[in-house]
Structure 1
Amino acid sequence: MDTREIRPGFYDKSKRSIKIPVGELRVGMYVSKLDRDWLETPFLLQGFLLESQDDVDTVAEYCQHVWIDAVQPEWVPPDEHGVMEPKTRKKTTYINKVSARDEHDQALGVFREARRLTKTIIDDIRLGGTLNTEEAKSTVKSCVDSILRNPDALLWMTKIRNQDNYTAEHCLNVCILAIAFGRHLGFSEAELEKLGLCGLLHDVGKMRVPPEVLNKPGPLDKKEWNQMRAHVIHGRNLLLSSPGITHAAVDVAYSHHERMDGQGYPRKLPASGISEFSRIIALVDAYDAMTAKRCYAPAIPTTQALKIIYKDRGTHFDERLALAFIKSVGLYPPGSLVELKNGLVGLVLEGNKQYRHLPKVILLAQGDEPLEREKIVDLAQVEAGKLDKSYLIRDTLPDGTHGIFVRDYREKGLVFKS
């Protein structure tokens, strides 16, 4: 058969697989086999559709001959490949099954066990072991169950930080944030479990990065930066070799540093080539990283992180998803450390759906000086004229500012809720 007669997107179903030189490849063909090992190439899946001339050129860089299938799976046009809301998707509407207070104790147990399992998974990989797929899926399932009951209880626990276990805690936080965001977007329960697994495993490749590079407190030189960027390749390869892992998790591990403007890494994918799950994890990954203290950078307040996401919408991040994420997080999520215009400092206890800028706050300090008595203030009283405007929030602060840590108040039994 003359393969040059094949129209893009259509195949002669009387044939199975045909070996051809790469010079005869055309957009629309389905590559099923290479003349070299898949893991020696940047290709994500063992078998893929050529959706653009860039795909054809990339294959030509690595191979001399390939095998194409004469039977084509359903073809999605390149301009629709990255569409966010397929017409076939039905949004799921959720309601909170319990209050945040009622979910709190159960969520704390979920969080502690998930944190333990995540650390075990990460440590096993660091020591050269294999990924425990069942433990990973079990961790995600417990988080999904809690978030479906009420997302607020588990969400604020992502603010409990321990820099010594940054990578493991970051992976778990991205998992929780992604599930909660997916719930906000109306994903089905099955989609939430898949998305949560993508979040949990997105950075597993960092366990193959030399520790002295991963934990370096200062700027990375060119060689070190290349080693760090290689974590997406390590993650892809590790997950490809792990039985029972969905292709979506492989894709996210490989693609969560791609950008909408095509300037990401490792492949500089155009926006149309970046999956929805990769776009979501890119958002929550950046948000959690920016709001955490890392070995090379201090934490920034949540409002500042959201401003950066807003500024970078459409270039770094998907614009529609960025705006939806900002809305889902809110101005002052429970557990946020805030400073009022009068200099008082406190933790946000409870959101206000009517006046989002006026939450309930437990006042703890005046600058660096702890108050003699902690006091709960409903800032909505400013709107009612019962508090003066000096009680408006001036700014959010990183966890640990003025010596105030969320974890300390959790240990005292404090409950945050929306």
Structure 2
Amino acid sequence: MADKAPDGNLMKLPVSKLTLGMFVSAIDSNAKGKVAIANAGQIRSQDTIAKLTKNGIQFVWVDVERSSGDCGLKTSVAADPGQHEKAQKAVGSRDARQNHAKKILGEAKGLIRKVLSETFEGKAIEVAPFEALADNMIESIMLDDDAFKCVSALRDKDAYLLEHSVNVAFLLVTFGKHLKLDRDMLKQMAVGGILHDIGKIRVDNKVLHKPGKLTPEEFEHMKLHQVFAIDVMAETKGLSQVSKDVCLMHHEKLDGRGYPKGLKGDEIPLHGRMSCIVDIFDALTATRCYKEAMSPAAAFKILLSLTPFHLDTELVYEFIRCVGVYPVGSLVELSDGRVGIVWEAKDRDALHPIVKCFYSIKHRHYTDVAFVDLRKSELNIERGVSPSSLDVDPKPFY
């Protein structure tokens, strides 16, 4: 059942689903339940929604009758009395999947942080916790990989090493699923992805976190993280060869000019080639201390430019088909100048997802939050947008 107040006019909604014109009468507290607020009223600006998010409020109670007619609540309830409950269930289901994905990402980052610390102290890695984490990740992706994509789009440049490791694992599983690899292979690749940058714990922090281009000498030192990884992998009991390959091959090149071993052509197996593609793509689409994030579409162009000497051409095209030109969680500009988040793409072609619009580039201000189904609209996607190109932070709208 949906959460309703005794008078039947109140609807419990996650803050992420609020739009301008909705009348917020109370907030929802895990400890106290529904809590009345002194400044109840209609939402007049996106700043109000952003403030709720910043204060850690996840759910609020909205008065349907006192909300404006153009916010979408009254129309849906009037058209179908049961729509209120259906909408609540749908929101709850999607939020539940996203919360599950967030939980897994949090556990993964905690585990990686712990292992990085222990590895720095010279302790051997225990594989079992990573295998359990990989199983949970695979289950979540099989259930709804869009939820994982949306959550993983929320990046923190100060936690790059942790988030990059988790995202590489997630992308490898998603890519492997697309290629119809068996579950055991997905699990082994996920473990390798989570551990693929473990050698960086022994790289000089001044080089690892340098906010600028590395000198040739510094780059040579950075490349040593793969040499350090060889030693770590050798000391790790119970780690499969596939997991080791993912860890040790993601900087190899088909023409033999990669490192640490200079492998060439068929010496790099399928999972090794996949790790090269995934590692570069995630690095390009992440904000770092020395660069802004690139849009997925721009990153795909770079991947294609690295074929066939560095990356496998056929696999790059398959990766683009797998992720989609405009993947869930990415930002796009529509033909009317609005910017939105690609919200849903399942069972749709790449150019016609559902987009959650929240900002106008043309007018440089927030707009009413609106979900645009491009299969039913005359609008189209003009281009992918990088977060750094906007004057505002898109995070509150995820």
The answer to whether structure 1 residue 402 and structure 2 residue 393 are counterparts is no
Conserved 8 A contact 2:292-2:388? no
Aligned to 2:360: 366
Which one of 117, 122, 137 corresponds to residue 116 of structure 2? 122
In structure 2, relative to structure 1, the CA distance for the partners of 1:179 and 1:405 (3 Å cut) is farther
Write the distance in 1 (CA, Å) between the matches of 2:257 and 2:98.
Answer: 41
- In the TM superposition, what is the alpha-carbon distance from 1:175 to its structure 2 partner? 0.4
Q: Distance in 1 between matches of 2:106 and 2:219?
A: 33
Cα contact 2:158–2:289 (8 A) shared by 1: no
Once residues 388 and 268 of structure 2 are traced to their aligned partners in structure 1, the CA distance between those partners, rounded to angstroms, is: 36
Counterpart AA for 2:370: K
**Aligned with residue 375 of structure 1, among 366, 370, 381:** 370
Q: Deviations over 1:390-414 (max 9, x none)?
A: x32221112354255554234xxxx
Q: Which residue number in structure 1 is paired with residue 67 of structure 2?
A: none
Aligned counterparts of 1:335 and 1:158: Cα–Cα separation in 2 = 8
User: What is the deviation of 1:292?
Assistant: 0.3
* Amino acid in structure 2 at the alignment position of 1:376: F
Distance 1:352 1:142, change over 3 A: closer
- The aligned counterpart of 2:243 is 249
Question: What residue in structure 2 maps to residue 280 of structure 1?
Answer: 274
SS for the counterpart of 1:394 is strand
In the other structure, the counterpart of 1:210 is: 204
Matched, 1:201 2:195: yes
> Structure 2 vs 1, CA of residues 216 and 132 (structure 1 numbering), >3 Å: closer, same or farther?
same
Question: Comparing 183-192 with 127-136, which one deviates more in the overlay?
Answer: 127-136
1:337 alignment counterpart? 331
Per the TM alignment, residue 358 of structure 1 is displaced from its structure 2 partner at its CA by 2.1
Q: Which runs of 5+ in 1 are unaligned?
A: 1-98, 411-418
Please, which of 298, 317, 331 is the counterpart of residue 323 of structure 1?
317
Alpha-carbon separation, structure 2, partners of 1:149 and 1:372? 32
Instruction: Give the number of aligned pairs.
Output: 305
For the 8 Å contact 1:352–1:360, the answer to whether it is kept is no
User: Paired residue for 1:234, among 202, 205, 228?
Assistant: 228
Provide the C-alpha distance between the structure 1 equivalents of 2:99 and 2:292, rounded to a whole number of angstroms: 31
Aligned partners of 2:369, 2:268: CA distance in 1, in Å?
48
What residue number does 2:59 align with? Answer: none
Contact persistence 2:156–2:287 (CA under 8 A): no
> 1:221 and 2:215 equivalent?
yes
Identical-pair percentage: 30
For 1:218, give the aligned amino acid: G
Please give the root-mean-square deviation of Cα atoms over the aligned residues, in Å.
2.1
Aligned-partner SS, 2:376: helix
**Aligned residue in 1 for 2:170:** 176
Task: Give the TM-score of the pair, scaled to structure 1.
Answer: 0.68
- Shift in alpha-carbon separation, 1:136–1:217, aligned structure 2, 3 A: same
Residues 122 and 168 in structure 1, CA contact (< 8 A), matched pair in contact too: no
Larger deviation, residues 119-128 vs 193-202 = 119-128
TM-score normalised according to structure 2 size: 0.72
Q: Radius of gyration: which is bigger? A: 1
Aligned-pair CA distance for 1:250: 2.4
Per-residue CA deviation, residues 165-210 of structure 1 (Å, 9 max, x unaligned), is: 1111100100011011111111111111001011111111111110
Deviations 1:28-51 (A, max 9, x none): xxxxxxxxxxxxxxxxxxxxxxxx
| Partner residue in 1 for 2:287 | 293
SS at match of 2:308: coil
CA contact (8 A) 1:360 1:376 kept: yes
